[in-house]
Every structure is written in C-alpha cells, then in structure tokens.
C-alpha cells in the first residue's frame, strides 16, 4: 500500500491523537497509532500522546516543546479521541471522535456533541437515525506478510481447535465444553505475531466472542471462525440486526461441522475483501483530512494539556521492596481458610465492630472509598457511623443496617466530635470501636484479624496495627511498621495514631471521650493503660489500615493536656514540655533528693581520657551526693576519684564488676573513661529516669566528638549474629524510625558504655556478667536480665555524652543465643517485617520475609533454602507452593543465592521444617549442626538435586561433603535412582521423589509441528551440558541439508555454522516453557558423552520436550538407559544417531506419533500434582 509524501503541509493544522501506549493485542489501539502513521505519511503533522510506540510506525510522541511551538505559531490542533473518552478533556476547539466500537459498549459515552466530527471504523457502529451521512476510516492493521495462507503444508490437515476469550472474561464459565480440548489464545500467548500466525495456519476452527482483529488474522491464515453471541458480538438492542462487521467470508455464527466446513471454504474470499480494504484506505484518509481541516479554529493557548513528563520518576529501592512485600502478603484462599478455622475453634461469639468517621462535606468523595473498602470485608458484622456537619446525601443512610449518620453543627470542632463519639459509645452496643479519618480503608481481613487476636488475647482491651498510605491509582506507599506497646515512646510521640481498636466495655469503664477533645484516641489508649496495665494493649504487626494522604496527628496542645492527666492518674510527678521537633514531647521527671550516686569509671583509654572524663563529671554532678571510683591498673589517678585496682588485662565488664562491688551508692553510674558528659544536667536527667519504679536502667545518647553524629545507639536484639547497635553514624538531628531518635523509649537493649541503674535492681538481676566473650554480649545480657525481671532499659536523647578514642570493637554477640534462645526473634521495640541485618535496619526484610503469622501456629511451617541455583529453587518451590496453596503447610522461601539465616532471623521465623538444597560451602555443615543441637524438634530435610559442585571443590571432596551433610540431616530427598543408591548408606531416611513438571507452567502451551520447510530439530542446554552436544557435530554436518538444527541456551561456537537458529536464553527463567513451545520443534536430542553424574537435568529436559509432544532421541546412558518413557534410545555411534534423526525427519507421521506417546506418558506419570503426597510426607514428621 503506497501512501507517502515527503514534507509536512505547513498550511494545515496538526493532529493530536489521544492514543494509549501501543500494544499488538488491541486492534483499537493499533488503529489509533496507524491513523497517526498514515497521516504523517500523507504529509500531515500528527502526534500521539504516549511514548510507547511501535518503532516501525511513524508516530512521534507529543512533547511540551512541540505544544509550545504550535502555541507560538497559533496553529490550533485537531484532537482525535477514541469513542471511549468522555467529554473534551483537552478543551480543544476541533474535536474528532474515532468510533472504533459500539458507542457506550466499553464504558464511553453513547452520544457526542453536534460540534464534533465523527469518523466510524465500520458501518455496524453507526446509528443511521442520528448520523445519516457517516464518514469511515477502516485501516487494515494486519501484516499480510505474516498472516497469510501461502504455501501452507497444514491446510489440508488442520487439527487445532482454537479459542480466543479476549475481553469476554466469563467465556470459560459460559462455554466450558469449548475449553476442554482446545488451545486457548490469550493476550500474552502466543508471544509474537509470527507464532500466532503459525498456530492459525494449523487451526481447524477459531472460536471468539467479540469483534476483534484476530478474526481477520485467522481468516487470512485460512482458519474459519465461529463467533459466539455475547454482548461484545451483537449489536445494541436499540439497533438490532445483523452485525455486518462480523458477516465476513469465512466467519459464521453456526457452530456445526457443516457450518464450519462452509466457512472454511470461503476463507479464500476474505483475502480479496481485505485487499479491497487496502485500496479504499487512501480515499478515506484524504476525505478525512479535507473535512477535519474545516473544523472550528480555536486558540492553541486554550488547550488544557496533560503534564509532560519526559523522565518517569524511578521508585526508590524501599518502595520496590514494599511492592514486593505486598505481593507476598496478598490475601490468599488459604489465609481465609485459617481465619475460618480460628473463628470456629477460638471465637466465643460474633463480635460487632463500629467505626466512627468525622466528616465534612468536602471529604464526602473520599469517604465513599471507605464505604467501598468496608463492603469488601471478609467479616460482615460492622457498622460505619459518619459524624458529619451536613445532612446525609442519600435516603440510603436512613434504611441501612451498616451505615449511620450523626448530624452535628461543626465537624471541625473537637469538642463536638468528642461529645458525638461519647453518644455513639453510650447508644450503640458493639464489641470493638475505632475512629478513622475520612478516606481510610481497611484491609480485607482487618476485622477478622482483630477478632482472631482478641479471641487469643482476651486481656487485650486495645489493639493497634501497622498501616500505610494510599497514593494515586490505588498504589500503597510509606508503610508504618510499628513496635509493640512502648509507654515512654508513646508519651514522647503518638506512634499509634488512628490505627487503634478499643473494646467498648473498656471505653465505658474508663470514661473515654470525656475531656479529651482533639486527642480522643490517644487519651483512650492511656486511660485503658492506666486502668488495666501495659498488658492490655496489643499490637498486630500487619498492615491492616490504609490511610489517605495528609492525615494529621492529634492536636499537640490536646495531647499534652492528656499526658498531664495521665501522669496524674498514675501519681507520677512530671512536667510535660513540647520539643522543637513537631509532635515530640518530653516529660521532665524529678530527680531523687537524697540518693547517693556511685560513679564507676572503667579506665579504658589513655590517661588524658580519664582526666577529661573526671573533669566533665565534676561539672555535671553539682548537688549530687556522689563518689567516683576509677577501676584502673594505674598507680595515680586524678582527684577527687578513688582508685580501685585491677589487672592491666582486665576487660571493661570485669572492671565494672569490681567497681560495683566497691560502690556504696544507691545508684550505680557505669562509665567508660573515654566518655565525656556533654551537658551539665546529664547526670540529673539520668537519675530522674532511673529513679522511676518501672525503669530498669537508663542510657544517654552517645555522640561522636563532633557532637553532631551518633556514635552508637541502642541495641537491636537478634540482629546480625545476635545483636547490633542502631543509628551508628546518623545525624543526631534526624528523627529516625517513628521519631525514635527524638524520644525516650525502651529499646531491646542498651550499651554499658554509659549506664545508670539502681543498686537494688543491679543486685536483683545478678549484675554485669564479666564472663561474656565480648562487650556487646555483656550489654545485651544485662538488658535482657532487666527485661526478664519486668524492668526494661530506657534510652533517652535528652542526655548526651561524647565518645572519644575511636571505634573500639564491641564484638558480634554470637554467644548470646546460647543463653537467650527464645528472646532474640522478637525485639519488642522493632517489627517482625523489618530487616535484622544491621546494615539495613528499619528497611523491609527481603532476605527472609515470613510466609506465616508467627502469632498463630496452625500448620507445619516450612523454611525453604534453595541455594544458588534458580533451577533447584524452582523445583523446591513448585511443590511447596502448591501445598501451601492447599493449606497443607505454610511456606517461607529464601530467594536464590540468599545466605543462610542467622540466629535472630531463624528464631523469628521459628520453622518446624527446614528444606535445604545442598550448598557446596562449609558454612552449611556448621549451620546444620548448630540447628540440630539447639533445636532438637526441628526436622531438617536435605535435597540433593545433583552432583555438580562448582569450582570451589573437587569432585571427590564435593562428594564427601555431600555425604557429611546427609549424615547430619534428618531426611534426604533425591530425584533419581542413581542418587538414591549413592546416599542410601549415608542417611537413615533417603526418599526418592522423581523429577516432575509443574503443570501450571505448561498448561495451554502448544509446540506446533512442521512449521518450516524442513523438520526443526532442537537441543536445549547450558554451558555445562554443551560438551555433550559436541558429540553430534558430525551428525549435524551430515543432516544439515534435510534438518534445521535449533539450539536454545548456551551454544558452542564451533557448531554455530551448522545451525538454522541459535537462541541464547536463561533456561531457569519463568518464560522458558513459552520460549521452548514457541520454537515449533519437530524433534529433540539428548546426547551424553560419557557415563557418570546424576542425569537430573537430562531427565528434566526429556519431560519438558515430552509435555509439548516433541519426540526425543537420547543416548542410552544413566537414567535414560532404560525405563518406560517412550523415547528413542541410541548408543554413542554417530551412524546410529544419524539414522535415528533422519528416520524421524523423513516421516512426519511417525514423529508425531512418537511425540504424542511421550506427551501422554509425561502427563500420566510426571506431573507435579501426582507427587504432592510424597512431598507432603517428606516435609512432615
């Protein structure tokens, strides 16, 4: 079709084509892009709005520079909308509507303004009563160089029944019989036009349910089409009649053998029809240009154009982590089943939930989102009460059982809101209540989760959860992973926010919503704490609440007033003060008046360190009855300190023990001599906190000598090898996670470098244990003993000290798990979804994200550790994933190449079974031994999937190492008989579970036969297997005239000249099944150069070829030497190989029968679902 002019017609106005990004699967989108293409070829100036274009088309992307140029020259554009666009969003003076389907069918308007120019794709879409003289542009969008029936060897023996559901989503539900033995074409498969054409050229019939380009593609390939009547294939009722657009030669509505045969005989006629379409296009385009250029000519500056964004904003790494986390946490049927089981097993009734939502008229639109989200709740016992300052917008509120409306005068008045909440609390019976901002949405299982936890923890009167923020397009961002209840943290900053649910009885008992205007939820939490204790406040560490952007915290003044009342109820003296940071408060507690302080200085540095330390102390302890004890090996120390002698090699923890023994004070202040108290009031601040009856010890903020940077912060339990410090090297002015660096809080542990503790508490817990091998272990141990006694440590940013003398080694706390197993998996000041790698603290844990909720233990928990091989990872994950989907186990799988979990990570996960592939690294053997020693109830299962040991070990050493692993494991799994024989004497329990294919990955895939002029023979393999392929180089040379050799994967350079095609490809990628099917192989080879190895991969390749119906010739060695798989086995002689190849190549019928036989065998014996019971037994006790 020759349509071409060289230059733009500068006298004509430009065209802006409102087309979405180009896609080959949408005929409408292709038509819009082709319209732009042909207009440009005719010398017009046309642009599309999307940067996603087809490089073969002349469809330039409209940029801001182009728009500005047109505005500057007053060239008013003609805007072309598809029929689905409502209104005139660009405010264009000249509007064209390209009607590509029945108006209104796909969600667009049914009528258009009279001033718009309408151009129709087909006369079917014309309402002749409204548009008696329509214009048409039918753009033949199909490449007849690909879609044709020329030289089609399959034309006389078409055997493929094809189905294309398209946009008719319920096609399989409405016509199940069509899908039983047919090949289903989707938007994604086949992946290319060439592959689709090859399939259609073998099609006996194509079933479709809508007017689609695939009808023309099929007819051009000689495949008749049966069109099923649906809303997408019939004309609208108001214009009933024959759909002329579907009355094509070769297409029929009659689904009978006779009707299909008649349609097939007419497909050749469609080729002439399509050719005529091509001839008519030029005339249609020229008429369109002439008419459209006469449209009203407005001012270019009147256009309202979208913002042009040349460089899309790349999401941050943490945003990508959260997207991945959300995918892994999506609610699955197995989750709903567990909820149902808990409901039946643990619930004592059907709890009712009430949500109160303050509402002004301007927030009504976003409040509808809240209603819609609540309607999707899995649990239906809820009621939403709007507290609004305007009348209900619909009578539906008066009759609804779940929606309520409480009218007040001013929804912006905190006092009126509190009174309204109190009225609802008094009037409406329920079990749980919450106050949510307008637009807030609950996760689908939010109410079920609250009910589950409340049944498990009847003592909980308040339950809060994690949350995130909703962004444009239903995207969820900025997750807030909260800690467990932490009173001092809450006093300093309301980290709970609107995420709390309250038992109604508790709210009534404590008199909630009275005198707390502006801080109702914050006040209710503290009132219930004061009446019931910290144990009454529970945390669900899951994202159950999605907040709209811009939700503000409660009023600072109101929260300060609430805090004062809270302290008064507890009888705790203290003064509440606002801090510079927004939303942060400090409580000044009084220091003890008559207590004696013993300052115990461990002389750890140079003499000048000690001198400066004592000088700073002298300036900071004014008014305190104190003694300074220096534990040192020196003979002389600065005044006024008292010397306590120790050996020169004594560790700091040993010096602390000596000092504590000699001390006489009521409080013990442990201090490294390299610490300089930076503030005169620091000692009094620490004393005031340590004097509280609910505090075990107090540590200040430790800064580097610059006074601006954190030296080391509080300790995260379970991090790295056992524990690690937080905020190291951070700017001291940063807020930290949930303002943690700006508020006093109880962390998992604190360091001993600068620590104040009551002498009685120190003695109660047994003091500092000097026997630990490193300082970090001793510090964590001390804090853990405090926690065990119910007296957690406290960290404050309101007292600072400078740490001099460089970064001394703290140790890695690797010894900590030996004593504190069970305490390291859950640091209550942290969150289980955050990383325990100290280098990634407060980032989402993407190393070992738990696939189960640790609060409940209802299924066997399986931790899968696949090692470095993506192929092995897939073979591990496929059966476990299916078992998890069937709720027969719960699965956490580490990513490929992920290290082994450390102690805290393992304790956090608390699996019942570990299924690991063999790693050729000595660390795995030690790790497995430690697991068995520390967790005797753990079931360890070793999967030996092969004997390839990489470059790190020799074959002999690697085998010995595998045998050592097998002896340590409780159970060994192998996929072949060869491997079973090798390990049967190394372990008590060795089980053979044969290699099998995950049918879900191969479902619906078809490998077309005889698509080329010569038979296509394929080999698939990696570099490791490439040596086997070289065995056939002579056969390739001898058969290259009769066979097209095709290689997928890694190919040796020396044989590339003999190949028809070479496709480098990652054989472990998810797209491998489709890629293999797309090659259209008629035969496959599996050569093997010598005996040995385990043959797992060769067996797998046989199955992959077999399920696609590709016959296989294999060297009769190893696992393929014998067996019942119907493959052709040959020796190593090249003559045998040559004969076998040519026999299949020359007889297509024999090859087809062999392929079908192998396909039947694979489907009868080697599908994953058939072996799931064996997998379930293998991971269970």
Contact 52, 46 (CB under 8 A): no
Tokens for 31, please give them.
Answer: 């038509």
Q: What pLDDT, on a 0 to 100 scale, did the predictor assign at position 577? A: 94
Map out the domains of the chain as residue ranges: 15-140+296-302, 160-275, 320-587, 593-820, 847-992, 999-1165
Rounded-to-integer distance, Cα 813 and Cα 140, Å: 72
The whole-number average pLDDT for the span 617-624 is 76
The whole-number average pLDDT for the span 859-873 is 91
Dihedral Cα 828, 831, 834, 839, nearest 10 deg: -30
Give every CB contact of residue 216 below 8 A, 6+ residues apart in sequence. Answer: 142, 147, 248, 270, 274
What is the fold of 593-820? Spore Coat Polysaccharide Biosynthesis Protein SpsA; Chain A (3.90.550)
Mean pLDDT of the chain: 90
The whole-number average pLDDT for the span 661-672 is 97
How far lies 316's CA from each of 322, 710, 843, 1125, in Å?
Answer: 10, 25, 12, 50
Residue 762 has pLDDT above 60, yes or no: yes
Residue-level length of the chain: 1181
Q: What pLDDT, on a 0 to 100 scale, did the predictor assign at position 949? A: 58
Residue 311 has pLDDT above 50, yes or no: no
- How many CB atoms sit inside 10 A of residue 111's CB? 9
Residue 301 has pLDDT above 70, yes or no: no
Q: What pLDDT, on a 0 to 100 scale, did the predictor assign at position 716? A: 98
- 488: Cα separation from own chain's centroid: 33
Rounded-to-integer distance, Cα 1143 and Cα 1129, Å: 13
Q: What pLDDT, on a 0 to 100 scale, did the predictor assign at position 820? A: 95
- Number of helical H runs and strand E runs in the chain: 36, 45
Q: What pLDDT, on a 0 to 100 scale, did the predictor assign at position 1009? A: 85
The whole-number average pLDDT for the span 150-154 is 87
pLDDT for 2-18, tens place per residue? 455 444 556 789 999 98
Report the chain's terminal Cα–Cα distance, integer Å: 71
Does 725 or 64 have the greater pLDDT score?
A: 725
Strand partners, 990: 972
Dihedral Cα 52, 57, 58, 61, nearest 10 deg: 0
Rounded-to-integer distance, Cα 298 and Cα 356, Å: 51
Residue 312 has pLDDT above 80, yes or no: no
pLDDT for 160-173, tens place per residue? 999 999 888 888 88
pLDDT for 847-858, tens place per residue? 999 999 999 999
Dihedral Cα 834, 840, 842, 848, nearest 10 deg: 0
Q: Which of 350-359, 952-961, 1136-1145 bottoms out in mean pLDDT, i.e. has the lowest?
A: 952-961
Tokens for 251, please give them.
Answer: 């297409």
Indicate the pairing of strand 353-359 with strand 203-208: unpaired
473 pLDDT tier (thresholds 50, 70, 90): low
Rounded-to-integer distance, Cα 462 and Cα 454, Å: 9
Q: What pLDDT, on a 0 to 100 scale, did the predictor assign at position 304? A: 60
| Packing angle, helices 652-662 and 775-788, rounded to 10 | 50
The whole-number average pLDDT for the span 201-207 is 94
**Percent of the chain at pLDDT above 90?**
64
Second-level CATH architecture of 160-275:
3-Layer(aba) Sandwich (3.40)
Rounded-to-integer distance, Cα 825 and Cα 835, Å: 12
Tokens for 984, please give them.
Answer: 């049967």
Contact 438, 358 (CB under 8 A): yes
Q: What pLDDT, on a 0 to 100 scale, did the predictor assign at position 310? A: 44
Q: Please determine whether the domains at 160-275 and 999-1165 fall in the same fold group of CATH.
A: yes
Indicate the pairing of strand 625-632 with strand 462-470: unpaired
Residue 1064 has pLDDT above 60, yes or no: yes
Q: What pLDDT, on a 0 to 100 scale, did the predictor assign at position 1084? A: 96
Second-level CATH architecture of 320-587:
Alpha-Beta Complex (3.90)
Q: What pLDDT, on a 0 to 100 scale, did the predictor assign at position 313? A: 62
Choose among 445, 497, 438: nearest CA to 467: 497
What is the fold of 847-992? Rossmann fold (3.40.50)
**Residue 764: how many CA atoms within 13 Å on its side-chain side?**
15
CA dihedral sign of residues 640, 646, 648, 653:
negative
Choose among 699, 678, 681: nearest CA to 690: 699
880 pLDDT tier (thresholds 50, 70, 90): very high
Choose among 648, 586, 420: nearest CA to 512: 420
Q: What pLDDT, on a 0 to 100 scale, did the predictor assign at position 239? A: 44
Indicate the pairing of strand 697-703 with strand 710-712: antiparallel
Question: Candidates 3.40.50.740, 3.40.50.2000, 1.20.1090.10, 3.40.109.10; correct CATH number of 999-1165?
Answer: 3.40.50.2000
Does 403 or 236 have the greater pLDDT score?
A: 403
pLDDT for 990-1026, tens place per residue? 999 999 999 999 988 888 888 778 899 999 998 888 8
pLDDT for 929-951, tens place per residue? 998 888 999 999 999 987 765 55
497 pLDDT tier (thresholds 50, 70, 90): very high
Q: What pLDDT, on a 0 to 100 scale, did the predictor assign at position 234? A: 72
Q: What pLDDT, on a 0 to 100 scale, did the predictor assign at position 8? A: 53
pLDDT for 513-534, tens place per residue? 998 899 999 999 999 999 999 9
Q: What pLDDT, on a 0 to 100 scale, did the predictor assign at position 590? A: 94
| Packing angle, helices 1148-1165 and 1134-1146, rounded to 10 | 100
pLDDT for 109-147, tens place per residue? 888 888 899 999 877 788 877 888 888 988 887 888 899
Rounded-to-integer distance, Cα 867 and Cα 599, Å: 52
């Amino acid at each position: 079709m020759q349509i071409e002019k060289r230059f733009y017609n500068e006298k004509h106005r430009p065209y802006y084509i409102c087309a979405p990004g180009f896609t080959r699967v949408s005929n409408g989108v292709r038509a819009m892009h082709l319209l732009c293409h042909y207009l440009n070829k005719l010398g017009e100036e046309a642009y599309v709005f999307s940067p996603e274009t087809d490089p073969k088309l002349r469809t330039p992307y409209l940029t801001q520079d182009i728009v500005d140029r047109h505005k500057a020259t007053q060239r008013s554009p003609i805007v072309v909308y598809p029929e689905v666009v409502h209104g005139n969003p660009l405010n264009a003076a000249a509007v064209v509507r390209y009607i590509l389907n029945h108006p209104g069918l796909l969600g667009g308007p049914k009528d258009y303004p009279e001033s718009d120019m309408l151009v129709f794709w087909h006369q079917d879409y014309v309402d002749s009563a409204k548009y008696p003289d329509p214009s048409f542009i039918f753009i033949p969008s199909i490449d007849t160089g690909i879609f044709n029936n020329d030289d089609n060897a399959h034309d006389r023996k078409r055997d493929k029944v094809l189905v294309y559901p398209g946009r008719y989503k319920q096609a399989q539900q409405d016509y199940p019989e069509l899908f039983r033995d047919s090949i289903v074409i989707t938007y994604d498969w086949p992946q290319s036009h060439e592959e689709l054409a090859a399939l259609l050229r073998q099609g006996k019939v194509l079933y479709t349910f809508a007017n689609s380009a695939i009808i023309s593609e099929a007819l051009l390939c000689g495949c008749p089409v049966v069109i099923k009547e649906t809303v997408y294939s019939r004309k609208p009722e108001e214009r009933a009649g024959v759909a002329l657009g579907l009355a094509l030669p070769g297409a029929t509505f009659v689904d009978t053998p006779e009707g299909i045969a008649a349609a097939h005989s007419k497909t050749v006629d469609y080729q002439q029809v399509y050719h005529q379409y091509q001839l008519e296009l030029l005339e249609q385009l020229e008429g369109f240009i002439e008419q459209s250029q006469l449209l009203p000519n407005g001012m270019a500056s009147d256009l309202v154009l979208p913002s042009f964004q040349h460089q899309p904003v790349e999401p941050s790494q943490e945003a990508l982590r959260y997207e991945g986390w959300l995918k892994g946490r999506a609610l699955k049927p197995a989750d709903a089943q567990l909820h149902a089981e808990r409901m039946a097993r643990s619930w004592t009734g059907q709890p009712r939930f009430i949500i109160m939502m303050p509402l002004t008229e301007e927030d009504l639109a976003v409040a509808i989102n809240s209603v819609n989200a609540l309607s999707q709740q899995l649990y239906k016992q809820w009621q939403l009460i709007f507290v609004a300052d305007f009348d209900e917008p619909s009578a539906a509120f008066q009759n609804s059982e779940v929606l309520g409306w409480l009218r007040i005068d001013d929804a912006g008045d905190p006092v009126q809101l509190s009174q309204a909440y109190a009225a609802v609390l008094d009037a409406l019976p329920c079990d749980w209540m919450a106050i949510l901002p307008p637009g807030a949405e609950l996760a689908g299982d939010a109410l079920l989760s609250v009910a589950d936890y409340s049944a498990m923890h009847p003592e909980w009167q308040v339950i809060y959860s994690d949350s995130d923020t909703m962004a444009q397009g239903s995207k969820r961002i900025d997750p807030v992973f909260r800690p467990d209840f932490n009173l001092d943290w809450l006093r300093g900053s309301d980290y709970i926010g609107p995420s709390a649910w309250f038992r109604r009885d508790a709210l009534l008992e404590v008199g909630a919503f009275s005198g707390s205007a502006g801080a109702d939820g914050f006040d209710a939490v503290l009132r219930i704490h004061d009446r019931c204790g910290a144990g009454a406040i529970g945390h669900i560490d899951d994202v159950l609440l999605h907040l709209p952007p811009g939700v503000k915290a409660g009023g600072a003044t109101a929260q300060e007033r609430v805090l004062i009342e809270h302290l008064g109820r507890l009888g705790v003296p203290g003064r509440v003060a606002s801090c510079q940071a927004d939303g942060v408060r400090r409580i000044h507690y009084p220091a003890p008046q008559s207590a004696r302080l013993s300052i115990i200085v461990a002389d750890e540095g140079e003499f000048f360190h000690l001198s400066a330390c004592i000088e700073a102390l002298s300036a900071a302890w004014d008014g305190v009855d104190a003694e300074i004890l220096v534990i040192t090996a020196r003979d002389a120390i600065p005044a006024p300190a008292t010397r306590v002698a120790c050996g020169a090699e004594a560790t700091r923890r040993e010096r602390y023990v000596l000092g504590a023994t000699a001390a006489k004070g009521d409080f013990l202040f442990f201090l490294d001599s390299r610490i300089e108290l930076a503030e005169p009031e620091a000692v009094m601040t620490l004393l005031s906190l340590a004097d509280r009856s609910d505090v075990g010890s107090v540590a200040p903020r430790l800064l580097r000598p610059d006074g601006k940077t954190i030296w080391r912060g509080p300790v995260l339990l379970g991090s790295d090898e056992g524990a690690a410090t937080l905020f190291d090297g951070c700017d001291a002015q940063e807020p930290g996670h949930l303002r943690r660096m700006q508020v006093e809080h109880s962390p998992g542990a604190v360091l001993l470098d600068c620590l104040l503790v009551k002498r009685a508490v120190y003695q109660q817990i047994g003091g500092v244990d000097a026997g630990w091998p490193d300082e970090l272990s001793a510090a964590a141990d001390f804090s853990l003993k405090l926690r065990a006694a119910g007296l957690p440590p406290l960290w404050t940013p309101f007292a600072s000290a400078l740490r001099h003398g460089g970064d001394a080694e703290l140790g890695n706390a690797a010894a900590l798990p030996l004593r504190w197993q069970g305490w390291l998996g859950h640091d209550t000041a942290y969150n289980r979804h955050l990383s325990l790698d100290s280098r990634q603290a407060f980032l989402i844990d993407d190393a070992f994200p738990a696939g189960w909720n640790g609060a409940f233990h209802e299924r066997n928990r399986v931790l899968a550790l696949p090692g470095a091989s993506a192929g092995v990872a897939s073979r591990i994950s496929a059966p476990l994933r299916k078992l998890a989907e069937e709720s027969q186990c719960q699965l956490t799988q580490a990513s490929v190449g992920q290290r082994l979990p450390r102690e805290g990570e393992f304790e956090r996960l608390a699996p019942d079974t570990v299924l690991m592939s063999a790693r050729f690294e000595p660390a795995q053997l030690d790790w497995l031994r430690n697991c068995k020693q520390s967790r005797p109830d753990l079931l360890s299962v070793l999967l030996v999937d092969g004997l390839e040991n990489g470059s790190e070990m020799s074959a002999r050493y690697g085998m010995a190492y595998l045998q050592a692993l097998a002896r340590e494991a409780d159970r060994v799994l192998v996929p072949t008989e060869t491997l079973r024989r090798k390990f049967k004497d190394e372990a008590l329990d060795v089980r053979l579970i044969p290699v099998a294919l995950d049918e879900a990955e191969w479902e619906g895939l078809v490998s077309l036969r005889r698509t080329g002029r010569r038979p296509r023979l394929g080999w698939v393999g990696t570099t490791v297997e490439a040596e086997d392929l070289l065995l056939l180089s002579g056969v390739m040379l001898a058969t290259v005239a009769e066979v097209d050799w095709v290689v997928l994967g890694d190919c040796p350079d020396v044989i590339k000249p003999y190949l028809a095609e070479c496709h480098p490809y990652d054989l472990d990628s998810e797209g491998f099944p489709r890629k293999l099917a797309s090659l259209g192989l008629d035969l496959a080879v599996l050569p093997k150069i010598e005996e040995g190895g385990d043959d797992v991969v060769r067996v797998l390749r046989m199955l992959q070829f077999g399920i696609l119906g590709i016959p296989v010739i294999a060297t009769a060695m190893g696992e393929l030497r014998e067996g019942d798989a119907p493959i052709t086995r040959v020796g190593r002689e090249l003559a045998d190989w040559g004969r076998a190849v040519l026999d299949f190549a020359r007889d297509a019928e024999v090859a087809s029968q062999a392929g079908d036989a192998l396909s039947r065998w694979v489907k009868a014996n080697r599908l994953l679902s058939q072996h799931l019971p064996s997998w379930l037994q293998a991971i269970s006790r």
